Structure 1
Amino acid sequence: MLGLHRTRLTPELLRAALTFGVTTVDTAPHYQRGTAHRQLVHTAGNLLDRFAVCTKIGYHHNTATGTSMHSLAPQQLRTAAATAGRSLHQPPAVLWLHNPERSLTGLPLQSAAERLTRAAEILTHAVERGWCHSWGIATWNPEQILPAVAATRGDWPRPGLIMARSGLLAPARVLTAAEHLAAHCQARLWGMSPFGGDTQDPVWREVDPRRFLTPGQECTRWQAALRLALAVPDRVERIAVGASTPSHLAELLTAPDLAVNTQVVTSYRTLLERRSAAETSSAACSAGARSGSPSGSANSGTKL
């Protein structure tokens, strides 16, 4: 799936995508300073009908200020859902509720559950009205959504899809939470940000993702990293990934054929989870010490 968050869109890239069998693009109206839908329609021209377009609601772009604010206010969501298809000249294949955690975090648990349920009802209604073909939740921090989902006790219109960060650089808690969220919603899982957001990150000079594949396979680091994003977290069906040129896209498309060393990946996940647990425990101890709780030195008599 061709992600358009940072992709410099050209007719050549879209034609190449179709030639390679890539027929799904993922975008959002607030990308490209609020011009993403318009750019896609203009650049694709008569090719647009050959793509399934996925887009998002949740961030609301202010043209006057050039900024985007997040809101799950029902009227704003309803308007965004109703107008997405008109701006794209076709109903979105998937309409994502984008990063709902931005408006849920900090709310009382029951209020967060009610707000999430209301948003889900609006998106379900959008499918029923033909404004989109399906809906899902695209989240950067799924662990911040899980409590609200659990508080609904299953009595809410569940999404059919979850999209979350995937790959070697996604934090352990994000990977685990994405799996739990998809399981709780009985939804299919898609991935995004397989390179951690930046292929120029110094970590990629230190970590060779090819070591997580079975030996004897010829591939680039980026092919390996993308293949692993389909394996971490578990059961990822497809990935939203950007590509700057047709040759770059062609390189990435061979990644799904690579074989993963499941034993190495499992060991890596275990190490990630242990490190995450240790960091959580350390943070809890530090917080307790600052608050003067029994785990702190003032009450226990132990110097920390």
Structure 2
Amino acid sequence: MDLGITGIDTAFNYHGFASHATLREVGRDLLHRFTISTKVGFFSGRGAAEHSLDPARLRKALEQTNRELGCTPRIVFLHNPERSLTGTSPEAARSTLAVACAAMEDAKTDGLCEEWGISTWDPSPLLNSIDATAPRPAVLMIRCGLLVGVQTLQSSESLAEKWSDETTRVWGMGPFNCNASDPVWSKFDARVFLRSPQDKLSQAQAAFRVAYRLPQVSTVAVGTDDPTHLRELADALSYEVDEQAVHQYRELLHRRAHSQSV
């Protein structure tokens, strides 16, 4: 809150399926001052988490989420729906996803969330799984950043174009591909994607800032247990992205992908 951050993103299965109860315990009287987004789709199985889009399981998870948080989440995402759609026929995928979307819409109507959305790590399987008659998500959460491959970038943008309207928001996640200390961040200067001045900007700050343009997103969810790191990322938002540099980078990605396919 001191850094101006008012949103917390979590999931039903995070922290060993205890994230909601833990968040309520830690947040206590401050929790209501944050916008809470969470996800459902992974469930506790025998020895490992399992994925399901079964509407009854989704509904039960949403009810449990409200009890454990002690408040109604602002947004609930279907968590990586592609996990249950990959390997099925297009007809089965469309039917399964449409039923799950209807369950989320019913949950919103019944007051279990204010809005619902789709959070996907690999949007490709969703492109042919959309039923035009099914309820539309209010928010799409997709991968973003310099480590997102051109195919995922293209699929994410196609999904946003196909499944959104003028009210749909697009969020990003994983700007460091889940590892901000990866050696890759020391092998090139991400600051070339930002306008001057850049002298006081770190590589992590530059990579985080440009993630808002790869692809175009309005919000980026990032995880950290280091308040200093979080402060640096918040400070990076004051810098301007060099749109021309991003455009040239995307062209290079497309050329490389084309040459490899040929």
Same fold, TM-score > 0.5, yes or no: yes
Alignment counterpart, residue 32 of structure 1, candidates 15, 26, 36: 15
Residue 118, structure 1, aligned to residue 99, structure 2? yes
The aligned residue for residue 140 of structure 2 is 162
Letter in 1 for 2:208: L
The aligned residue for residue 45 of structure 1 is 28
Alignment counterpart, residue 239 of structure 1, candidates 196, 202, 220: 220
Cα offsets for 1:209-261 (capped at 9, x unmatched):
10111233231111111111111102x00100122232222111111221111
SS at match of 1:114: helix
The aligned residue for residue 227 of structure 1 is 209
Distance 1:73 1:246, change over 3 A: same
Question: Structure 1 stretches of 5 or more lacking a match?
Answer: 1-17, 283-304
Determine the C-alpha separation between the residues in 2 that align with 1:108 and 1:275.
31
The aligned residue for residue 285 of structure 1 is none
User: Where do 1:95-244 residues align within 5 Å?
Assistant: 95-149=76-130, 152=131, 154-186=132-164, 187-217=168-198, 218-234=200-216, 236-244=217-225
SS at match of 1:19: coil
Determine the C-alpha separation between the residues in 2 that align with 1:272 and 1:144.
21
The alignment yields a C-alpha RMSD, in angstroms, of: 1.4
Determine the C-alpha separation between the residues in 1 that align with 2:151 and 2:73.
30
**Deviation of the 1:277 alpha carbon:** 3.3
- Alpha carbons 1:28, 1:55 under 8 Å: kept: yes
The alignment covers a number of residue pairs equal to: 258
Residue 61, structure 1, aligned to residue 50, structure 2? no
Alignment TM-score, normalising by the size of structure 2: 0.94
The aligned residue for residue 298 of structure 1 is none
Q: Which has the larger radius of gyration?
A: 1
- Alpha carbons 2:37, 2:77 under 8 Å: kept: yes
- Alpha carbons 2:185, 2:204 under 8 Å: kept: no
Determine the C-alpha separation between the residues in 1 that align with 2:58 and 2:72.
16
**Deviation of the 1:165 alpha carbon:** 0.6
SS at match of 1:90: coil
The worse-fitting range, judged by mean Cα deviation, of 85-94 and 131-140 is 85-94
Determine the C-alpha separation between the residues in 1 that align with 2:25 and 2:235.
29
Question: Structure 2 stretches of 5 or more lacking a match?
Answer: none
Residue 266, structure 1, aligned to residue 247, structure 2? yes
- Alpha carbons 2:12, 2:61 under 8 Å: kept: no
- Alpha carbons 2:40, 2:77 under 8 Å: kept: yes
- Alpha carbons 1:41, 1:88 under 8 Å: kept: yes
Distance 1:28 1:66, change over 3 A: farther
Cα offsets for 1:16-71 (capped at 9, x unmatched):
xx122211100012111122112111111111111111111110124xx5521001
SS at match of 2:237: helix
Determine the C-alpha separation between the residues in 2 that align with 1:53 and 1:127.
15
SS at match of 2:128: helix
Of all paired residues, the percent bearing the same amino acid is: 40
Determine the C-alpha separation between the residues in 2 that align with 1:25 and 1:228.
21
- Alpha carbons 1:160, 1:185 under 8 Å: kept: no
Alignment counterpart, residue 5 of structure 2, candidates 10, 22, 26: 22
- Alpha carbons 1:104, 1:112 under 8 Å: kept: yes
Alignment counterpart, residue 90 of structure 1, candidates 71, 84, 87: 71
Letter in 2 for 1:258: Y
**Deviation of the 1:173 alpha carbon:** 1.3
Determine the C-alpha separation between the residues in 1 that align with 2:18 and 2:78.
19
Determine the C-alpha separation between the residues in 2 that align with 1:276 and 1:86.
47
The aligned residue for residue 249 of structure 1 is 230
